[in-house]
Structure 1
Amino acid sequence: MSDRTILVTGGGSGIGRGTALHFGGLGWRVVALDRDEAALAELASLLPAEACLTITADCGQEADVIAAFRQVDAWLGGAPLTCLVNNSGIADPACGPLEDLALADWQRWIDASLTAAFLCSRQALPLLRRAAPDQAGASIVNISSTRALQSEPDTYAYAAAKGGLDALTHAMAVSLGPQVRVNAVLPGWIETGPWQKATERKAPDHSAADREQHPAGRVGEVADIARAIEYLATAGFVTGQQLVVDGGMTRRMIYA
Structure 2
Amino acid sequence: MNAQVHFDDEGLATQARTILAGADCGNLLVADGGPTICSETTVSVRDDGGEAVMTVPTAGTIWLTAPRPRWGSLVLKGAVDSGAGLAGVGLTLSGRLHRLGRHSVPDGAHSHCSAHHGGPELTQVALRVEEVWVSCPRLDSLPPAVSGVRQIPLLSYASAEPDLFAANSRRVTAHLNRFHSEQLRGWGAACAGKDVRDVAGASLTGLTRNGVRLWVVGRNGASGTYLEFPSPIQRFDELGELIGDTVRAARVSSNPPSAEPPSS
TM-score (normalised: structure 2) = 0.23
More strand by share: 2
Structure number with bigger Rg:
2
Greater RCO (Cα-Cα under 8 Å, separation 6 or more): 1
More helix by share: 1
